[in-house]
């Protein structure tokens, strides 16, 4: 069975649904909006969630750990993973490539665990095409000025890279209608509560519970 079909099978509503596959939650939003901060707080409250660690060709920032923040790889190794079909999705963002290792997602969903991806919009669209019943959440900044300020405060990119990320952010907003849920990351605690509410609501969907009838 082709891997993409396998994922459809495991998170769909067919006979395999009786085994209670996990739910795939995909979180997107402009760089600097606070996706990483939200996910970190969420994992503290719900440690049973499985966060997918992406592969990237960009350089590690100070404090980032191999295998925890990302798997940092050369462009050649990244290309090899693409060719070998090891990535569920991938995209170019700013000056780097980013991708989601397929196996981790498949295995955790099969085990019945909920998986969280924190990825940009082009990758999210690929996931929507490949994974049935994924849940897509878009995190918005209170204002574009606040987004700029957060990127400056994070001190992870130079001024030119921040300009580039803000330009990409404007483009990413066009993809909002493609998502299932949106939330503004103004008060962090409220934003995290909203993500938890989404997770709870998705567990209550009839279609995800048909096997219990
Ligand atoms: P992303 O993962 O979306 O690129 P980060 O999680 O790295 O963004 O957050 C970018 C910056 O914004 C960080 O310095 C973080 O501490 C800050 N931040 C995140 N959420 C909030 C919030 N609700 N209010 C104020 N600052 C925030
Ligand atoms: P950063 O360089 O700030 O860590 O990430 C830049 C952008 O790439 C963010 O929007 C982040 O969500 C996204 N990203 C991280 N991992 C992946 C991935 O595996 N696939 C895709 N498509 N985007 C990713």
Q: How remote is the CA of residue 48 from the centroid of ligand 1, in Å?
A: 23
pLDDT score of 114 more than 90? yes
Q: Are 134 and 8 in contact (CB under 8 A)?
A: no
Per CATH, domain 3-7+19-203 is 3.40.50.300? yes
**pLDDT by residue (tens digit) across 13-38?**
444 444 589 999 999 999 999 999 99
The answer, yes or no, to whether any atom of ligand 1 lies below 6 A from the CB of 194, is no
**Block residue for tokens 């000056």:** 95
C-alpha to C-alpha distance for 34 and 151, rounded to whole angstroms: 10
**Structure confidence at residue 3 (pLDDT):** 45
* Per-residue H/E/C for 50-92: EECCCEECCCCCCCCCECCCEEECCHHHHHHHHHCCCEEEEEE
The answer, yes or no, to whether any atom of ligand 2 lies below 6 A from the CB of 57, is no
pLDDT score of 205 more than 70? yes
Q: What is the mean pLDDT of residues 103-110?
A: 97
Neighbours of 102 (CB within 10 A): 21
Q: Ligand 2 pocket check: which of 61, 94, 98, 125 to mutate, most ligand atoms within 8 Å of Cβ?
A: 98
**Structure confidence at residue 154 (pLDDT):** 92
C-alpha to C-alpha distance for 147 and 166, rounded to whole angstroms: 8
- Whose Cα sits closest to atom 23 in ligand 2? 119
**Structure confidence at residue 211 (pLDDT):** 64
What is the pLDDT of the chain when averaged over all its residues?
91
- Provide the Cα torsion 125, 127, 133, 136; round to 10°: -50
**Structure confidence at residue 17 (pLDDT):** 44
Q: Is the pTM of this model over 0.85?
A: yes
Q: Which conformational region is residue 193 in: left (phi greater than 0), alpha (psi within -120 to 50 degrees), or beta?
A: alpha
**Structure confidence at residue 19 (pLDDT):** 59
**Structure confidence at residue 20 (pLDDT):** 82
Looking at per-residue confidence, does 208 or 56 come out higher? 56
Which atom of ligand 2 is nearest to 36's Cα?
12
What is the total residue count of the chain?
213
**Structure confidence at residue 76 (pLDDT):** 98
Helix, strand, coil tally for the chain in percent (to 5): 50, 20, 30
């Amino acid at each position: 069975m082709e891997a993409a079909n396998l994922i459809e099978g495991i998170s769909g509503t067919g006979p395999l649904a009786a085994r209670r596959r996990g739910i795939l939650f995909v979180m997107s939003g402009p760089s600097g909006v606070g996706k990483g901060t939200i996910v970190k707080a969420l994992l503290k409250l719900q440690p049973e969630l499985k966060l997918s660690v992406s592969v990237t060709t960009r350089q590690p920032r100070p404090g980032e750990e191999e295998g925890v923040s990302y798997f940092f790889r050369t462009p050649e190794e990244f290309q090899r993973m693409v060719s070998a079909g090891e990535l569920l999705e991938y995209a170019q963002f700013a000056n780097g490539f980013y991708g989601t290792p397929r196996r981790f997602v498949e295995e955790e969903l099969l085990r019945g665990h909920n998986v969280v991806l924190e990825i940009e919009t082009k990758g999210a669209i690929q996931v929507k095409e490949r994974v049935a019943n994924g849940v897509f959440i878009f995190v918005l900044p209170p204002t574009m000025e606040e987004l700029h300020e957060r990127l400056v405060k994070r001190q992870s990119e130079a001024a030119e890279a921040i300009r580039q990320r803000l330009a990409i952010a404007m483009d990413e907003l066009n993809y909002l209608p493609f998502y299932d849920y949106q939330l503004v990351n103004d008060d962090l605690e409220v934003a995290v509560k909203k993500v938890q509410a989404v997770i709870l609501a998705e567990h209550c969907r009839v279609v995800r519970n048909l096997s219990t009838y």
